[in-house]
Amino acid sequence: FFQSLLQTVFPPELRFASIKFFNRFFSYFSAYCYYDITEIDGVNTNELYNAVQLYLSSSASITGTRLSLTRGLNSSAITFGLSNNDRLVDSYKGVTVEWEHIVTQRQGQTFSWRPLPEEKRGFTLRVRKKNKHLVLDSYLDFVMEKANELRRKNQDRLLYTNSKGGSLDARGSPWESVPFKHPSTFATLAMDPLKKAEIMADLKDFANGESFYQKTGRAWKRGYLLYGPPGTGKSSMIAAMANYLGYDIYDLELTEVNTNSELRKLLMKTSSKSIIVIEDIDCSINITNRNKNDHRGAGAGGNSDSGNTITLSGLLNFTDGLWSCCGSERIFVFTTNHIEKLDPALLRSGRMDMHIHMSYCTFPALKILLKNYLGYDESDVERELPAEVEEIIDAAEMTPADVSEVLIRNRRDKKRAVVELVAALKLRSKRKLKNEDEDEEQEKSALDSDKDGFEHFQENCRGCEEKDDECIDEDKE
């Protein structure tokens, strides 16, 4: 209306200037400012456009009534998006903003190095002028961050293995992959809640620590050593870590690796944002020992490389050396059932940043398992579980796997599950106490016999003191 008015009122030579003037006039009095985020920025794809699209697809943040739904290839999640020329309202730190998705037909192909899509797409963000700074300072960063998080969550992650024994696939990768769909999460992991929170904070710190690692000149990687008896959740913990951070897992089968250089190649072919796992690392110590016996290889921390076997030093270079930082944001996890068997070179501080003991089932861990399998909350546990459980559970030394087994078997009959669990705990703790008593008795009798032996020795050797080195009786000596 205004434009046609202008056309009649103003002569053609003034028309353009007047439109410009009125535009400025209105925008001056408008309470809003607008930001256009176009899909193609010159010739490049605009990262921000993709991020906004993904961000608006997170169902929690949107209030639109008309949405377009998409599901990517290989993705298990459906994403929502704004339909063409539709708008929706989002709020951030108490400020309301409005997004509009604008799609127009591209008029005539302009010259470009690559074909452009027929439609011109973009988002327009409308905010009140007084909130302009919030948008520029933090809202768009927040959108980018959220989008990255979603991208990681939506994509199915992969579990890689090198079990082909060094042969390469069609794309020249020594790794073979399958979609990784392990359901274990930190919520389902039964362990001490404080320790769990500490590990989760450590992982988050690591994932968000790019600038810290940059500033301190450290490679952006972290090592965790998980140790404890079988069935205490070491593998479950790795899966929970991967699910928590949205990382891929590289399960490194050391027995399939023949040389240190092969190990290095494997490392080079891993991607960032991944967890590299070596399970049962104590088994690799044999490899070192074999090497030592050959008198060819290196000892712990040595430098030599026998050329045709994998050595501990090769393994340490793998996690620690210059090669370890090709790529970035990588986590190394070693697991073992026998920490005492590990070479001290692997344990020294700084090598593995965090040693995590996966222990037998404790009472707080038991509560998590009861919640997982029987749906018991805190009050159910108090009501259904005899008080003595808390006292005997540590002595029983049952692994979370043992407890899970009892609960899974009886998951349809909760009362029975609890009865059976309590019986198992009692039996195990009694057996354990009995064994301890027996051990104590054996120890005592051993001590007694030692004492007898000592007295006997004192009696028989009284003379020796005087004649010092003349005692030729080996027993007495």
Binding footprint of ligand ATP on the chain (CB under 6 A):
188-191, 230-236, 337, 358, 400-401, 404
Q: How far is the CB of 286 from ligand ATP (least distance, A)?
A: 17
**Closest CB to ligand ATP among residues 232, 410:** 232
Structure-token pair, residue 286 = 């044999």
Comparing CB distances to ligand ATP, the nearer of 223 and 233 is 233
31: number of Cβ within 10 Å: 8
Cα separation, 250 vs 276, in Å, equals: 5
Which residues contact Mg ion by CB under 5 A? Answer: 234-235
Nearer to ligand ATP, 299 or 364 (CB): 364
Residue 189 partner contact from ligand ATP, Mg ion, none using kind-dependent CB cut-offs of 5 to 8 Å: ligand ATP
Q: For residues 335 and 280, what is the distance between their CA atoms, to the nearest angstrom?
A: 5
Of the candidates 271, 316, 322, the residue with the CA atom closest to the CA atom of residue 298: 316
Residues written for the chain = 477
Write out the two tokens for 158.
């992969």
Whose CA is closest to 365, among 402, 338, 335?
402
Q: Smallest distance from the beta carbon of 27 to ligand ATP, in angstroms?
A: 59
- Partner from Mg ion, ligand ATP, none contacting 57, C-beta within 5 to 8 A by type: none
* Nearer to ligand ATP (CB atom), residue 174 or residue 400: 400
Q: Report which secondary-structure segment, H or E, holds 35.
A: strand 32-38
For the CB of residue 281, give the shortest distance to ligand ATP in the complex, in Å.
Answer: 11
Q: Which is nearer to Mg ion, 298 or 352 (CB)?
A: 352
DSSP assignment string, 71-135: --TTB-S-EEEEPTT-EEEEEETTEEEEEEEEEEE--SPPP-SSPPPSEEEEEEEEEEGGGHHHI
CB of 314 to Mg ion, least distance (A): 24
Give the chain's count of helices (H) and strands (E): 18, 15
Q: Tell me the Cα Rg of the chain.
A: 34
**Residue 221: contacted member of ligand ATP, Mg ion, none (CB under 5 to 8 Å, by partner type):** none
Q: Toward ligand ATP, which CB reaches closer, 157 or 234?
A: 234
Residue 222 tokens, joined: 């972290």
Spatial CB neighbours of 280, under 8 Å, sequence gap ≥ 6: 335, 336, 337
223 binds, among Mg ion, ligand ATP, none (CB under 5 to 8 A by kind): none
Contacts of 26 (CB under 8 A, 6+ apart): none
The listed partner (ligand ATP, Mg ion, none) that binds 327, CB under 5 to 8 Å by sort, is: none
Q: For residues 461 and 465, what is the distance between their CA atoms, to the nearest angstrom?
A: 7
In whole angstroms, how close is the CB of 182 to ligand ATP at the nearest point?
9
Longest dimension (CA), the chain: 135
Query: Minimum Å distance from CB 282 to Mg ion?
Result: 13
Q: Where is 435: in which H helix or E strand?
A: helix 414-460
Closest separation in Å from C-beta 235 to Mg ion: 3
Residue 122 binds which entry of Mg ion, ligand ATP, none, with Cβ cut-offs from 5 to 8 Å by kind?
A: none
Partner from Mg ion, ligand ATP, none contacting 324, C-beta within 5 to 8 A by type = none
The residue nearest Mg ion at its CB is 235
Shortest reach from residue 232's CB to Mg ion, in Å: 9
Residue 407 touches which member of Mg ion, ligand ATP, none, C-beta under 5-8 Å by kind: none
Nearer to Mg ion, 161 or 306 (CB): 161
Query: Which CB sits closer to Mg ion, 144 or 283?
Result: 283
